[in-house]
């Protein structure tokens, strides 16, 4: 795991296994074997129309879980590859940056569940007669839920590499290739790892939602936890839902302990800080690996590969460029490129409006806009309500350091939990008490996303400087005055991060929350989410496209007119230190 | 290569940057420079005068727009193998150990692992960091980090070592130690380096190390004068000969262009780079000069010692007092003008009024802001309006700093006010009201 080990340290007696090896070997080989076996299962013959055998027997759950976890892993790998290429192009080629960054903004606000129905047909055509196509569609859906924030993070890191380090690498003759691996990528690692963690956390929701895919009116259920749940809902099997919840909790825990803890602990060394920080995150697995002889020796393989990568590009003498880290086009080509972009933009706008207008007409468009407003209102109200509850709770917890550490992990854990699992319970409650569907399905939208508010507030409150806290106490600040002058401004940036994440997540969740089913019971609330959900299950492409486009517009305007402004305000005026 | 080819030769170097609205801003103009073998040269000047840009032209990090830059007679077209640099901020890679940081440049040149390991180890030992090869930079103190910076530069066996304020991030004692160690390596020829160039803010440091001290003038940056230091190493900072040279440098630094006999000092225009000085500190300095032992006229080195201010902040205060007409500089001395004396003798509210008068009279930017605010019906104007204007002359960062400075001065004088949240300049709430107590140049 430590690719930078100087080669002198490895001596032959290092190869003798020690006690740590004994503890670690079975774990690692077990995981590898499972993954290999699970991956083999993906490649299975399949024809559209034949139902896949699926059973609610809990004994099958571990297998389904493995399949789902692998999909997640595949999507994560894909996201990482995409991130590297996309962010690098955007950061290094200004001509592409002009397109790629706004595009990323748009991609980020497209509801993921809408993607699925559009792309699945293409993927099936790609692998005729094989399940791999459907598998790819599911992985692609999870990918779209993970990639964008990772890409944004890497792009931002690449743009903020400290100038003195860039100059130092030029002074010491690092080629652009070497500079990327030695400076730019390491600098980006902590942010990237954190975003990967957030991505996977959000990804469970989509794993569950994307395994049961509807293609031309038929539902294909891929073997996995998501399909298990879908089947349980169809058959109204509450016990099976319970098992599924337990299984997903186990999977989240395993991902956290076996994958992210070690990764975060390892990424700590790339943190760009000049002083040894307070408490570094730790991972038992990483410690085990760093102490086990076998793994120290085995680390020489990735280390060798790493050196191979570093030396892969030939050295060339550097020449001065206008800017050391960018590839600029000549002026005239740049102008042509701008022209092409504008032409493409106009063409696309024209084509889409003609298409939507001829297929659906203005009345429908206004109706969809109205539904969007309804959903937006729900989200605003619910985020506000959730804030009213979780801000005080989060502050209370955050100001008690011992509790904060543990409960923050719990809140993070809850945020990862795919809440669509508990929807059936809510449906039963609504039906049982004959509640208003328009109102009572709404909480489903923030059920999963409210935790982002909680754990960000906890982290904000726990990082309030203790001298400010002492000063507030010393000045006798109490009650509302203490909140108004000290606590609320202090946690605002952190709260905002949480609220933005929660609001974006809620838009996505509205697609599954505004139209919920339990067996034959079907509850539908008016809103953009239910519109997209209904269009998706009918395979009605113009309506799906319209719904997605409108949601995209809403999310982007929210981001632009509300969140970004608040965020700038917070960043500029309220940052402590 | 002939005996007479200098290590570094710059002739008529010119560097311009483009402002956002595509106008040119000149940072360096007609800079001549030469570094001979066996020389240490120090470059002195105000911050923002273009010294660092000049250093980067020599390092091959920045391309000049005109003139010649030659290393051993060859044009510099990019980072050259014979030139290494040490940075003010150390610029160490936090994820690499000391050993790996030092090896980095050798690795990039394709030196074989065994050889670069030996060379790096030798360099680390030489600079006094033996035993710390496996440590990460964040485990080290500032002084040790800069030692890594030196080891990393010296392991390349550079002909020329460039130091960009290499000692200014360190405390006094640490800096002294490191300077002595470096000089020892240099004098005993333990390093193959043939010439060193240091950018420095500290006059004593420059005289302590260098054979020549060049004084740099700003806007646009150019060499204003040169002083030779003909003293043997190791030098004694307390010896009369050393003090004499320090005095000379201070004198040259404080001399305005006019007293040098060149062209008259250029009139201050709207884009004038206001010095980084607060009104309160300027007032304090004026009082210090007025009181014993100086009695209105102070020898600059003596004043520097008396106030214990770092050289660059002292020069910023001088510049502020000079442009406001409160003090005047003559070779090596600063003395109060009649206006300055009147200011010292006045009570705080009266001082503010006087400061405001001088400000509006002497600083075109302040006058412009006040006029715009007076003319507007709501007496408010967004800061961007002035920032844009400043960016014709200054970099974006400098423009912001200058506007911040003029806002602080204007607030002190109560001739205009500023709303931080809205980013708007405005007239003070009520002009007739009794002025606030003296500490008014701080935000809330």
CB-CB: which of B100, B105, B138 is closest to A273?
Answer: B138
**How many beta-carbon pairs under 8 angstroms link A with B?**
97
Q: Do B300 and B283 share a structural domain?
A: yes
**Whole-number mean pLDDT of chain A?**
79
pLDDT band at B102 (very low <50, low <70, confident <90, very high): very high
pLDDT band at A21 (very low <50, low <70, confident <90, very high): low
Residues A197-219, mean pLDDT to the nearest whole number: 77
Q: Do A276 and B138 touch (CB under 8 A)?
A: yes
Highest average pLDDT, of A71-80, A135-144, A421-430, A441-450, comes from A71-80
pLDDT band at B264 (very low <50, low <70, confident <90, very high): very low
pLDDT digits (tens, 9 = 90+) for A349-370: 788 777 777 777 788 888 999 9
Give dist(CA B92, CA A169) in Å, integer. 10
Q: Is residue A207 a contact partner of residue A72, using CB atoms and an 8 Å limit? A: yes
pLDDT of residue B407: 92
- Those residues whose C-beta lies under 8 Å from the C-beta of residue A214, and which sit 6 or more positions away, are A117, A220, A536, A537, A539
Residues of chain A with Cβ-Cβ distance to B85 below 8 Å are 167-168, 171
Q: Which CATH number characterizes residue B311's domain?
A: 1.10.10.10
Among A463, B162, A429, A222, smallest CA distance to B149 is for: B162
Domain end call among B343, B369, B390: B343
Among B160, B195, B163, smallest CA distance to B179 is for: B163
Domain end call among B210, B239, B254: B254
- Give the CA dihedral A44, A48, A49, A55, nearest 10 degrees: 30
Q: In what order do the strands lie in the sheet with B74-75?
A: B24-35, B8-18, B66-71, B74-75
pLDDT digits (tens, 9 = 90+) for B57-84: 998 888 888 888 999 988 988 888 889 9
A173, A278, A570, best to mutate vs chain B, most B CBs in 10 Å:
A173
B95, B123, B139, best to mutate vs chain A, most A CBs in 10 Å:
B95
- Those residues whose C-beta lies under 8 Å from the C-beta of residue A301, and which sit 6 or more positions away, are none
Q: Do B217 and B153 share a structural domain?
A: yes
Strands B195-200 and B160-164, by their bridges, are: parallel
pLDDT band at A10 (very low <50, low <70, confident <90, very high): very low
Is residue B114, in this structure, part of any structural domain at all? Answer: yes
Give dist(CA A432, CA A523) in Å, integer. 13
SS3 (DSSP) at A523: strand
Kindly provide the ipTM of the predicted complex, given to two decimals.
0.76
Give dist(CA A500, CA A564) in Å, integer. 9
* A331-340, B239-248, B262-271: segment of lowest average pLDDT: B262-271
Residues A477-485, mean pLDDT to the nearest whole number: 82
Is the confidence at residue B432, as pLDDT, over 80? no
Give A525 to chain B, closest Cα distance, Å.
42
Q: Percentage helix, strand, coil, to 5, in chain B?
A: 40, 20, 40
Q: What is the H or E stretch that residue B327 is in?
A: strand B327-330
Give A279 to chain B, closest Cα distance, Å.
14
SS3 (DSSP) at B374: helix
Residues of chain A with Cβ-Cβ distance to B141 below 8 Å are none
Q: Which two structure tokens, joined as six digits, stand for A564?
A: 């970004």
Give chain A's length. 577
Is residue B442, in this structure, part of any structural domain at all? Answer: no
CB-CB: which of B89, B108, B420 is closest to A172?
Answer: B108
**Whole-number mean pLDDT of chain B?**
85
Give A318 to chain B, closest Cα distance, Å.
6
Domain that holds residue B333: 279-343
Give B133 to chain A, closest Cα distance, Å.
10
Is the confidence at residue B371, as pLDDT, over 50? yes
Comparison of pLDDT for B246 and B262, the residue scoring more: B246
Residues A305-332, mean pLDDT to the nearest whole number: 62
Is residue B270, in this structure, part of any structural domain at all? Answer: no
The chain B residues in contact with chain A (CB within 8 A) are 56, 59-63, 77-79, 81, 83-85, 87-89, 91, 93-97, 99-100, 104-105, 107-110, 113, 117, 134, 136-139, 145, 152, 156, 420-421
From first CA to last CA, the distance across chain A in angstroms is 34
Give B439 to chain A, closest Cα distance, Å.
21
Strand partners, B335: B297, B328
pLDDT of residue A113: 73
Residues B259-280, mean pLDDT to the nearest whole number: 69
Q: Is residue A274 a contact partner of residue B140, using CB atoms and an 8 Å limit? A: no
Q: Which domains does chain A have, with CATH numbers?
A: 59-275 (1.10.3720.10), 361-574 (1.10.3720.10)
Query: How crowded is residue B281: how many other Cβ atoms within 10 Å of its Cβ?
Result: 16
Q: Which two structure tokens, joined as six digits, stand for B245?
A: 């040279």
Q: Do B138 and A7 touch (CB under 8 A)?
A: no
CB-CB: which of B91, B97, B117 is closest to A164?
Answer: B91
Is the confidence at residue A499, as pLDDT, over 70? yes
CB-CB: which of A162, A273, A315 is closest to B110?
Answer: A315
Residues A276-296, mean pLDDT to the nearest whole number: 66
Give A459 to chain B, closest Cα distance, Å.
24
Domain end call among B237, B254, B271: B254
Give dist(CA B112, CA B394) in Å, integer. 46
Comparison of pLDDT for A43 and A478, the residue scoring more: A478
Q: Do B108 and A164 touch (CB under 8 A)?
A: no
Phi, psi torsion values for B13, nearest 5 degrees: -70, 135
Comparison of pLDDT for A530 and A6, the residue scoring more: A530
Is residue B140, in this structure, part of any structural domain at all? Answer: yes
Read off the DSSP letter of residue A442.
T
CB-CB: which of B56, B105, B139 is closest to A173?
Answer: B105
Cis before A275 (ω within 30): no
Read off the DSSP letter of residue A7.
G
Comparison of pLDDT for A208 and B235, the residue scoring more: B235
Q: Do A172 and B60 touch (CB under 8 A)?
A: no
Is the confidence at residue B122, as pLDDT, over 90? yes
Residues of chain A with Cβ-Cβ distance to B107 below 8 Å are 310
Give B78 to chain A, closest Cα distance, Å.
5
- Those residues whose C-beta lies under 8 Å from the C-beta of residue A79, and which sit 6 or more positions away, are A143, A146, A147, A150, A196, A199
A7, A163, A170, A172, best to mutate vs chain B, most B CBs in 10 Å:
A172
Angle of helix B98-108 relative to helix B113-126, nearest 10 degrees? 130
Among B204, B199, B250, smallest CA distance to B231 is for: B204
Give B79 to chain A, closest Cα distance, Å.
6
Give dist(CA B398, CA B45) in Å, integer. 16
pLDDT of residue B114: 92
Distances (CA, A) of B403 to A81, A402, B387: 45, 46, 7
Is residue B416, in this structure, part of any structural domain at all? Answer: yes
pLDDT of residue A210: 82
A166, A171, A328, best to mutate vs chain B, most B CBs in 10 Å:
A171
Residues A548-555, mean pLDDT to the nearest whole number: 85
Highest average pLDDT, of A260-274, A473-487, A536-550, B27-41, comes from B27-41
Give dist(CA A574, CA A569) in Å, integer. 7
Residues of chain A with Cβ-Cβ distance to B421 below 8 Å are 573
pLDDT digits (tens, 9 = 90+) for B145-176: 999 999 999 999 999 999 999 998 888 888 99
pLDDT band at A480 (very low <50, low <70, confident <90, very high): confident
pLDDT band at A326 (very low <50, low <70, confident <90, very high): low
pLDDT of residue A1: 33
Q: Which two structure tokens, joined as six digits, stand for B152?
A: 């990393």
Q: Do B113 and B150 share a structural domain?
A: yes
* A79-88, A559-568, B204-213: segment of lowest average pLDDT: A559-568
Comparison of pLDDT for A565 and A2, the residue scoring more: A565
Residues B326-355, mean pLDDT to the nearest whole number: 87
pLDDT of residue A51: 62
Q: Do B188 and B317 share a structural domain?
A: no
Q: Is A566 exposed, middle or buried (0-12, 13-18, 19+ CB in 10 A)?
A: middle
pLDDT of residue A87: 92
DSSP states of B149-216 as a string?
Answer: HHHHHHTT--SEEEEESTTTTS-HHHHHHHHHHHHHHHHTT-S---EEEEEES-HHHHHHH-SEEEEE
Give dist(CA B306, CA B302) in Å, integer. 6
Is residue B272, in this structure, part of any structural domain at all? Answer: no
Q: Do B224 and B123 share a structural domain?
A: yes
Give dist(CA A129, CA A45) in Å, integer. 6
- Those residues whose C-beta lies under 8 Å from the C-beta of residue A340, and which sit 6 or more positions away, are none
Q: Do B393 and B314 share a structural domain?
A: no
Query: How crowded is residue A303: how many other Cβ atoms within 10 Å of its Cβ?
Result: 18
A3, A10, A168, best to mutate vs chain B, most B CBs in 10 Å:
A168
Phi, psi torsion values for A215, nearest 5 degrees: -120, 130
Q: Do B113 and A7 touch (CB under 8 A)?
A: yes
Strand partners, A219: A214
B107, B123, B151, B423, best to mutate vs chain A, most A CBs in 10 Å:
B107
Give A521 to chain B, closest Cα distance, Å.
53
Which residue is closest to B156 within chain A, CA to CA? A172
Q: Is residue B301 a contact partner of residue B243, using CB atoms and an 8 Å limit? A: yes
CB-CB: which of B60, B81, B104 is closest to A320?
Answer: B60
Q: Do B95 and A274 touch (CB under 8 A)?
A: no
Residues of chain A with Cβ-Cβ distance to B78 below 8 Å are 317-320
pLDDT digits (tens, 9 = 90+) for A421-474: 777 778 888 888 888 888 888 888 888 888 888 888 888 888 887 778 888 877
Name the percent of chain A lying above pLDDT 90: 7
Q: Do B210 and B330 share a structural domain?
A: no
Number of domain units in chain B: 3
Give dist(CA A301, CA A438) in Å, integer. 58
pLDDT band at B262 (very low <50, low <70, confident <90, very high): very low
In terms of C-beta distances under 8 Å and separation of at least 24 residues, what long-range contacts does A119-123 make, across chains too? Answer: A120/A213, A120/A215, A121/A215, A121/A216
pLDDT digits (tens, 9 = 90+) for B5-34: 889 999 999 988 876 666 778 888 888 999
Q: Do A172 and B113 touch (CB under 8 A)?
A: no
B76, B78, B145, best to mutate vs chain A, most A CBs in 10 Å:
B78
Question: Sign of dihedral through CA atoms B332, B173, B317, B201?
Answer: positive
* A70-84, A374-388, A393-407, B374-388: segment of lowest average pLDDT: A393-407
Among A481, A451, A437, smallest CA distance to A387 is for: A451
SS3 (DSSP) at B266: coil
Q: Is residue B356 a contact partner of residue B339, using CB atoms and an 8 Å limit? A: no
Q: Do B392 and B329 share a structural domain?
A: no
pLDDT band at B1 (very low <50, low <70, confident <90, very high): very low
Q: Which two structure tokens, joined as six digits, stand for A300?
A: 């020489």
Residues A253-281, mean pLDDT to the nearest whole number: 73
Q: Do B335 and B355 share a structural domain?
A: no
Residues B318-329, mean pLDDT to the nearest whole number: 88
Give A169 to chain B, closest Cα distance, Å.
8
3-state secondary structure B4-61: CCCCEEEEEEEEEEECCCCCEEEEEEEEEEEECCCEEEEEEECCCCCHHHHHHHHHCC
CB-CB: which of B78, B105, B107 is closest to A318?
Answer: B78
Q: Do B313 and B173 share a structural domain?
A: no
Largest Cα–Cα distance of chain A, in whole Å?
Answer: 78
Is residue B436, in this structure, part of any structural domain at all? Answer: no
Residues B264-273, mean pLDDT to the nearest whole number: 70
CB-CB: which of A4, A162, A273 is closest to B96?
Answer: A4
pLDDT band at A273 (very low <50, low <70, confident <90, very high): low
Q: Is residue A441 a contact partner of residue A523, using CB atoms and an 8 Å limit? A: yes
* A162-176, A457-471, A563-577: segment of lowest average pLDDT: A563-577
CB-CB: which of A171, A269, A273 is closest to B85?
Answer: A171
pLDDT band at B207 (very low <50, low <70, confident <90, very high): very high
Q: Is residue B55 a contact partner of residue B97, using CB atoms and an 8 Å limit? A: no
pTM: 0.78
Give A165 to chain B, closest Cα distance, Å.
5
Q: Do B171 and B77 share a structural domain?
A: yes
pLDDT of residue A127: 78
Name the percent of chain B lying above pLDDT 90: 28
pLDDT of residue A479: 80
pLDDT of residue A81: 93
Q: Do B358 and B291 share a structural domain?
A: no
Is residue B431, in this structure, part of any structural domain at all? Answer: no
Give B106 to chain A, closest Cα distance, Å.
8
Is the confidence at residue B267, as pLDDT, over 80? no
Q: Which CATH number characterizes residue B85's domain?
A: 3.40.50.300
Q: Do B136 and A269 touch (CB under 8 A)?
A: yes
């Amino acid at each position: 795991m430590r690719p930078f080990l100087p080669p002198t340290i490895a001596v032959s007696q290092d190869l003798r296994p020690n006690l740590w090896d004994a503890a670690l070997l079975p774990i690692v080989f077990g995981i590898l074997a499972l993954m290999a076996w699970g991956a083999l299962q993906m490649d299975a013959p399949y024809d559209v129309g034949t139902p896949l055998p699926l059973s609610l027997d809990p004994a099958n759950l571990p297998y389904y879980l493995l399949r789902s976890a692998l999909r997640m892993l595949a999507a994560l790998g894909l996201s990482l590859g995409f991130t590297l290429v996309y962010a690098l192009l955007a950061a290094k080629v200004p001509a592409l940056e002009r397109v790629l960054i706004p595009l990323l903004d748009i991609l980020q606000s497209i509801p993921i569940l809408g993607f699925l129905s559009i792309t699945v047909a293409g993927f099936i055509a790609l692998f005729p007669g094989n399940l791999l196509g459907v598998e790819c569609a599911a992985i692609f859906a999870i990918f779209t839920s993970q990639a964008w924030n990772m890409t944004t993070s890497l792009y931002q890191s690449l743009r903020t590499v400290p100038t003195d380090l860039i100059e130092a690498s030029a002074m010491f003759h690092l080629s652009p290739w070497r500079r990327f691996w030695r400076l730019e990528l390491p600098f980006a690692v902590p942010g990237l790892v954190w975003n990967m963690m957030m991505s996977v956390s959000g990804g469970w929701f989509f794993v569950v939602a994307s395994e049961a895919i509807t293609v031309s009116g038929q539902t294909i259920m891929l073997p996995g936890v998501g399909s298990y749940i879908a089947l349980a809902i169809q058959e109204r099997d509450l016990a099976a839902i319970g098992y599924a919840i337990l299984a997903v909790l186990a999977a989240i825990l395993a991902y956290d302990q076996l994958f992210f803890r070690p990764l975060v602990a390892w990424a700590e060394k790339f943190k760009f800080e000049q002083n040894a920080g307070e408490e570094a995150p730790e991972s038992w697995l990483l410690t085990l690996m760093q102490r086990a002889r076998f793994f120290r020796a085995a680390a020489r393989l990735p280390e060798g590969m790493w050196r191979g990568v570093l030396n892969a590009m030939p050295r060339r003498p550097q020449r001065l460029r206008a800017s050391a880290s960018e590839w600029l086009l000549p002026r005239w080509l740049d102008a042509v490129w701008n022209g092409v972009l504008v032409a493409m933009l106009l063409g696309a706008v024209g084509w889409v409006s003609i298409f939507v207008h001829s297929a659906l007409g203005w009345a429908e468009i206004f109706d969809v806009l109205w539904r969007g407003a309804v959903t937006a209102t729900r989200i605003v109200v619910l985020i506000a309500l959730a804030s009213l509850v979780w801000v005080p709770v989060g502050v209370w917890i955050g100001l008690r350091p011992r509790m904060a550490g543990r409960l923050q992990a719990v809140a993070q854990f809850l945020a990862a939990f795919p809440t669509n699992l508990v929807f059936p319970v809510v449906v039963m409650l609504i039906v049982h008490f004959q509640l208003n569907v328009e109102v009572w399905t709404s909480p489903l939208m923030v059920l999963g996303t409210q935790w982002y508010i909680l754990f960000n507030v906890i982290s904000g409150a726990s990082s309030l400087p203790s001298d400010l806290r002492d000063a507030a106490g010393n000045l006798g600040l109490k009650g509302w005055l203490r909140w108004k002058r000290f606590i609320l401004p202090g946690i605002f940036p952190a709260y905002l991060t949480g609220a933005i994440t929660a609001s974006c997540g809620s838009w996505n969740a509205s697609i599954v929350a505004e139209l919920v089913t339990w067996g034959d019971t079907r509850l539908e609330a008016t809103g953009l989410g239910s519109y997209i959900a209904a269009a998706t299950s009918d395979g009605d492409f113009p309506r799906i496209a319209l719904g997605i486009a409108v949601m995209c517009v809403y999310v982007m305007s929210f981001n632009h007119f509300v969140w970004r402004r608040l965020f700038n305000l917070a960043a500029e005026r309220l940052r402590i230190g | 290569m002939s005996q007479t080819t200098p290590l570094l030769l710059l002739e008529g170097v010119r560097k311009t940057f483009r402002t956002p609205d595509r106008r040119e801003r000149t940072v360096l103009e007609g800079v001549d420079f030469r570094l001979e073998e066996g020389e240490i040269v120090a470059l002195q000047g105000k911050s923002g005068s273009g010294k660092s840009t000049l250093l980067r032209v020599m390092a091959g990090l920045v391309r000049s727009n005109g003139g010649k830059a030659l290393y051993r007679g060859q044009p510099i077209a990019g980072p050259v193998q014979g030139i290494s640099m040490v940075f003010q901020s150390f610029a160490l890679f936090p994820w690499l150990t000391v050993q790996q940081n030092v090896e980095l440049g050798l690795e990039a040149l394709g030196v074989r692992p065994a050889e670069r390991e030996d060379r790096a180890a030798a360099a680390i030992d030489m600079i006094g960091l033996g035993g710390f090869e496996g440590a990460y930079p964040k485990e080290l103190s500032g002084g040790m980090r800069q030692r890594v910076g030196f080891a990393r530069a010296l392991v390349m066996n550079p002909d020329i070592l460039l130091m960009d304020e290499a000692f200014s991030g360190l405390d006094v004692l640490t800096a002294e130690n490191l300077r002595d160690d470096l000089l020892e390596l240099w004098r005993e020829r333990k390093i193959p380096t043939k010439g060193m160039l240091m950018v420095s803010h500290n006059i004593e440091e420059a005289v302590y190390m260098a054979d020549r001290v060049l004084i740099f003038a700003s806007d646009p940056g150019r060499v204003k004068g040169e002083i030779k230091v003909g003293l043997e190493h190791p030098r004694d900072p307390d010896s009369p000969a050393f003090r004499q040279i320090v005095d000379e440098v201070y004198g040259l630094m404080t001399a305005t262009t006019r007293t040098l006999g060149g062209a008259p000092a250029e009139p201050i225009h709207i884009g004038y780079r206001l010095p980084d000085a607060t009104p309160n500190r300027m007032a304090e300095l004026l009082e210090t000069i007025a009181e014993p032992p100086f009695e209105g006229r102070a020898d600059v080195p003596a004043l520097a010692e008396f106030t214990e201010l770092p050289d660059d902040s002292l020069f910023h205060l001088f510049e502020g007092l000079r442009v406001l007409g409160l003090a005047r500089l003559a070779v090596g001395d600063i003395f109060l003008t009649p206006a300055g004396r009147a200011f010292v003798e006045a009570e705080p509210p009266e001082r503010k009024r006087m400061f405001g008068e001088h400000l509006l009279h002497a600083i075109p930017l302040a006058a412009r802001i006040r006029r715009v605010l007076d003319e507007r019906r709501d007496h408010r104007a967004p800061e961007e309006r002035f920032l844009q204007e400043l960016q014709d002359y200054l970099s974006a960062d400098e423009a912001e700093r200058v506007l911040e400075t003029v806002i602080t001065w204007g607030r002190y004088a109560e001739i205009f006010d500023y709303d931080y949240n809205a980013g708007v300049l405005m007239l003070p709430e009520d002009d007739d009201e009794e002025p606030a107590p003296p500490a008014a140049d701080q935000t809330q």
